């Protein structure tokens, strides 16, 4: 039915987003090409055969896409809308998309121009929801979410995404409030990582009271703060100063030493690492800790180089996977360009004891 998938990403990362979806489409033997513009914050994968993207979007695992925030299958041609009373045209366009929708999401590109549509979308959504309800098109048990992607208030691309294979957050953006007492804004990265990579059950079983954490490059302590908040004991490694209030909790030991030579006396539950270092250098360090069983799980950043960003990410993940496989450690590697990440991605590795 549909011949396109639209993928939303951070502006400036269209090339990586496109590269990844093409790799996945090729793996599914799905002939397609890419349409995108630099810094547009979205990418279109267009079918170049009779095959439809309605099936493809259920076959590619959304969690595997590092640079995609949100996606939906749709028709290549956007719908032109009148200046007033847009709802009848929209209802007409979605006939046959699905019997019912679990929800409706109004999207726009995450660019300065796109953001100017935020107010329009906020005001328009309640009218649309009410029309969908009146037409019995919303149901809590439905499998698909309806997406309306506006590039301006008179043009919309309408599509659907499987609710169990797309982001639960509007436009794939996890909106988090900066905790007043956290020592740095970086704390939001770790909070987002915990929510993104770990299920609610894993969040309570894998990070809990009394667990031990090593934070490499910890100062001033935003990441450490997230673990202290969850009652963990943290060893913070950094030559720079840690936040005074955080140190007063008595839950943090601060060691002014080099993160690349420090080794724990016994295995810790978590290793976290947020240093602006070469990504392969960091990957080797993390691989060593996990392979030697100096830590059980890890969350860390990989700073992206200026060029060959996707190839570098693949190289790092392959290195980690190979090292852990050789060490006979059952593991899961997840990676994401989180909303709070800029020129880096975040990686989470969990292992079985
Ligand atoms: C981006 S900051 C970390 C911010 C921290 N995650 C937070 O949430 O507050 C990076 C830190 O890494 C530290 N760092 C860089 N290289 C290091 C090394 N080789 N050993 C220890 N610390 C290092 C720096 O001193 C700096 O404080």
Q: Which atom of ligand 1 is nearest to the CA of 221?
A: 9
> Does the reported pTM lie above 0.85?
yes
Q: Which atom of ligand 1 is nearest to the CA of 184?
A: 9
Q: Which atom of ligand 1 is nearest to the CA of 189?
A: 8
Distance in Å, CA 259 to ligand 1 centroid: 9
Residue 303 token pair: 């700073």
Nearest alpha-carbon partner for 135 in 97, 161, 163, 170:
97
Residue 155 token pair: 């043009």
**What pLDDT digit, counting tens, does each position of 315-344 carry?**
999 999 999 999 999 999 999 999 999 999
In CATH, which superfamily holds the domain spanning 187-351? Vaccinia Virus protein VP39 (3.40.50.150)
* Main-chain dihedrals φ then ψ at residue 311, nearest 5 degrees: -65, -40
Task: Give the ranges where the chain is alpha helix by DSSP (H).
Answer: 14-27, 53-59, 87-93, 112-115, 118-134, 187-197, 200-206, 222-229, 244-248, 279-291, 309-326
For residue 268, the cross-strand partners are: 295
Question: Which one of 239, 243, 282 would you pick to mutate in the ligand 1 pocket, going by the greatest count of ligand atoms within 8 A of its CB?
Answer: 239
Distance in Å, CA 231 to ligand 1 centroid: 22
Nearest CA to ligand 1 atom 26: 217
**What pLDDT digit, counting tens, does each position of 262-316 carry?**
999 999 999 999 999 999 999 999 999 999 999 999 999 999 999 999 999 999 9
Ranges for all domains in the chain classified under CATH 3.40.50.150: 187-351
Question: Which one of 219, 237, 255 would you pick to mutate in the ligand 1 pocket, going by the greatest count of ligand atoms within 8 A of its CB?
Answer: 219
Distance CA 345, CA 192 (A): 12
CATH 3.30.70.2810 fits 4-172, yes or no: yes
CA torsion sign for 121, 123, 124, 126 is positive
Region 8-34 average pLDDT: 98
pLDDT at res. 102: 98
Asked if pLDDT for residue 353 goes beyond 80, the answer is no
Asked if pLDDT for residue 179 goes beyond 80, the answer is yes
Distance in Å, CA 18 to ligand 1 centroid: 32
For residue 351, the cross-strand partners are: 331
* 112 HSE (CA, 13 A, CB side): 0
pLDDT at res. 239: 97
Asked, as a colleague might, if the bond just before 220 is cis with ω within 30 of 0, I would say: yes
* 297 HSE (CA, 13 A, CB side): 23
The DSSP 8-state label assigned to residue 66 in this structure reads S
pLDDT at res. 1: 81
Q: Which atom of ligand 1 is nearest to the CA of 224?
A: 8
Ranges for all domains in the chain classified under CATH 3.30.70.2810: 4-172
Distance in Å, CA 303 to ligand 1 centroid: 13
Ligand 1 site, CB within 6 A: 183-184, 186-187, 217-223, 237-240, 258-260, 274-275
Residue 162 token pair: 């499987």
Which contacts qualify for 125-131: CB closer than 8 Å, 24 or more apart?
A: 127/87, 128/87, 128/90, 128/104, 129/104, 131/87, 131/90, 131/91
Residue positions annotated with a catalytic role: 303
* Buried b / exposed e along 269-298 (16+ C-beta atoms within 10 A): bbbbbbbebebeebbebbbebbbeebbbbb
**What pLDDT digit, counting tens, does each position of 80-99 carry?**
999 999 999 999 999 999 99
Distance in Å, CA 125 to ligand 1 centroid: 43
Distance in Å, CA 338 to ligand 1 centroid: 19
Residue 88 token pair: 């009848």
Distance in Å, CA 230 to ligand 1 centroid: 21
Nearest CA to ligand 1 atom 23: 217
pLDDT at res. 338: 98
For residue 73, the cross-strand partners are: 5, 160
Q: Which atom of ligand 1 is nearest to the CA of 259?
A: 20
């Amino acid at each position: 039915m549909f011949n396109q998938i639209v993928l939303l990403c951070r502006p400036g990362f269209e090339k990586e987003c496109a590269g990844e979806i093409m790799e996945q489409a090729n793996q599914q033997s799905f002939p397609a090409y890419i349409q995108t513009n630099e810094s547009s914050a979205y990418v279109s994968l267009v079918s170049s055969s009779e095959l439809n993207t309605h099936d493809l979007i259920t076959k590619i695992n959304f969690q595997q896409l590092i640079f995609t925030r949100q996606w939906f299958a749709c028709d290549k041609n956007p719908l032109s809308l009148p200046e007033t009373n847009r709802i009848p045209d929209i209802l007409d366009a979605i006939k046959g998309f699905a019997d019912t929708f679990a929800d409706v999401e109004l999207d726009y590109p995450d660019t300065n121009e796109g953001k100017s549509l935020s107010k329009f979308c906020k005001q328009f959504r309640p009218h649309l929801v009410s029309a969908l309800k009146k037409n019995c098109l919303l149901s809590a048990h439905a499998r698909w979410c309806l997406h309306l992607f506006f590039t301006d208030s008179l043009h919309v691309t309408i599509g659907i995404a499987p609710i169990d294979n797309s982001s639960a957050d509007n436009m794939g953006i996890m909106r988090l409030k900066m905790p007043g007492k956290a020592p740095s804004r970086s704390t939001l990265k770790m909070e987002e990582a915990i929510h993104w990579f770990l299920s609610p059950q894993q969040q309570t079983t894998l990070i809990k009271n009394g667990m031990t954490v090593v934070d490499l490059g910890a100062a001033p302590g935003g990441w450490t703060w997230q673990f202290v908040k969850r009652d963990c004991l943290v060893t913070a490694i950094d030559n720079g100063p840690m936040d005074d209030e955080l140190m007063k909790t008595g839950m943090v030991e601060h060691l002014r030493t080099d993160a690349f030579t420090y080794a724990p006396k016994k295995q810790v539950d978590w290793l976290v690492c947020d240093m602006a270092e070469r990504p392969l250098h960091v990957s080797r360090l993390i691989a060593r800790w996990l392979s030697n069983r100096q830590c059980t799980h890890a969350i860390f950043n990989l700073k992206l180089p200026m060029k060959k960003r996707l190839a570098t990410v693949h190289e790092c993940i392959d290195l980690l996977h190979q090292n852990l496989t050789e060490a006979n450690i059952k593991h899961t590697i997840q990676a994401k360009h989180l909303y709070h990440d800029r020129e880096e991605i975040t990686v989470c590795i969990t292992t079985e004891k």
